């Protein structure tokens, strides 16, 4: 089955600096890569996703890049703010009908230092 590795497990950055979280996946058939943000005591929520036919996607201060050849994808957060402090999870799946299970990474705890 799919295996997703995520690094680093913890990350502290100064407010206003950029943060980068990296994930690798094992199954070359995976084609959908979402990122979820989970605030303390809350449910995970989708912040951005990318499909394998696209190399990069951006939404305001967050962006995701995908390298299919190397089987890795990354989350980039620019101009970080205190409200970006949370745990971030990457995931991968083969997004075909009836087979859309997500395999999650183990999470990155991001702390923004004011």
- Site residues (CB under 8 A) for other proteins? 1, 6, 9, 32, 34, 42-46, 49, 51, 89, 93, 95-107
Mark 71-92 as b/e (b = at least 16 C-beta within 10 Å): bbbbbbbeebeeebbbbbbbbb
Residue pointed to by tokens 């999470």: 107
C-alpha span between 10 and 88 (Å, rounded): 10
What whole-number distance in Å separates Cα of residue 95 and Cα of residue 105?
17
Nearer to other proteins, 63 or 102 (CB): 102
86/75 Cα distance (integer angstroms): 14
Nearer to other proteins, 78 or 102 (CB): 102
Beta carbon nearer to other proteins, 1 or 114: 1
Nearer residue to other proteins within complex by CB, 55 or 82: 55
């Amino acid at each position: 089955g799919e295996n997703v590795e995520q690094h680093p497990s913890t990350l502290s950055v100064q407010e206003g600096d950029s943060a980068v979280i990296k994930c690798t996946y094992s199954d070359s058939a995976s084609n959908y890569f979402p990122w979820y943000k989970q605030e303390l005591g809350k449910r995970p929520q989708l912040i951005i996703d990318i499909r394998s036919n696209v190399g990069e996607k951006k939404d305001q201060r967050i962006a995701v890049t995908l390298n299919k050849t190397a089987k890795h994808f990354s989350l980039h957060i620019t101009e970080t703010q205190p409200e970006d402090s949370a745990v971030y999870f990457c995931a991968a799946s083969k997004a075909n009908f009836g087979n859309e299970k997500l395999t999650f990474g183990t999470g990155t705890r991001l702390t923004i230092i004011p």
